[in-house]
Amino acid sequence: MEELSPFVIFFASIFTSNILLTNFLGMCSYLSVSRELKTAWGLGLAVIFVLTCTSAVNYWLYYYLLVPQGLEYLQYIAFIIVIAAFVQVVEMIVDRVSDRLYAALGIFLPLITVNCAILGGSLFMVIRKYDFVQSLMFGAGSGIGWALAIMALAGIRRKMSRRSAVIPALEGPGIVLIITGIIALGFIGFSGVVQIN
């Protein structure tokens, strides 16, 4: 994977290998927080920030602590612990530094810990053997891709709430999953443009 330019990885992880639409990671918060554009935007921003930073931190953890000790198989536990701790620290920093930012974003941070896209980002970087810069770009790109997906869905849901007559049985999660599938189909059109797997 050393030949792939970090920028290629960056763009690919937003569009052609969107962590949510191609790999279906991070679906729970995606489904429940996509009702309003404003909250979707807030959560999207938080995901971008956390995904990027934890990719970097977990990179160091993996290659400088786990690998030398032959403990690669502990990555699942180790990554999750780091993500949870990181989110706690970020929450405290935001609370201290800016009341306004905390009021807007603070409530989303605990939600991120359980977002499997965050863990997915770290795991993929290991599986695909990215180097540090590639990992960073991958984290940022995946975050942006996830945020784009949730905002697209929020926009669609908003339009739908005014005009569409959805079959009562599909109201809620049902129609959302169908829409997500259709968006994902659309994104498949991107595949083949660039391969980063």
**Length in residues, the chain:** 197
Residue 94 CB, nearest approach to other proteins (Å): 10
Query: For residues 78 and 196, which CB has a smaller minimum distance to other proteins in the complex?
Result: 78
Smallest separation, CB 34 to other proteins (Å): 9
> With contact defined as beta carbons under 8 Å apart, do 14 and 145 qualify?
yes
Query: C-beta of 126: minimal distance to other proteins in Å?
Result: 16
Phi-psi region at 192: left, alpha or beta (left = phi > 0; alpha = psi -120 to 50): left
In 10 A of CB 161, how many CB atoms? 11
Burial letters for 7-24: b for 16+ Cβ neighbours within 10 Å, e otherwise? ebbbbbbbbbbbbbbbbb
Query: What minimum distance in Å lies between the beta carbon of 138 and other proteins?
Result: 23
Residues of the shown chain interacting with other proteins in the complex, contacts defined by CB under 8 A: 28-29, 32-33, 35, 39, 65, 69, 71, 73-74, 77-78, 81-82, 85, 88-89, 91-93, 95-96, 98-100, 103-104, 106-111, 114-115, 165-166, 168-169, 171-172
Nearer to other proteins, 79 or 138 (CB): 79
| Residue closer to other proteins, measured from CB, 2 or 73 | 73
Nearer to other proteins by Cβ, of 12 and 56: the residue is 56
Nearest to 87 by CA among 64, 114, 117: 114
For residue 93, the minimal CB distance to other proteins (Å) is 6
> Given the structure tokens 């996830």, which residue do they identify?
146
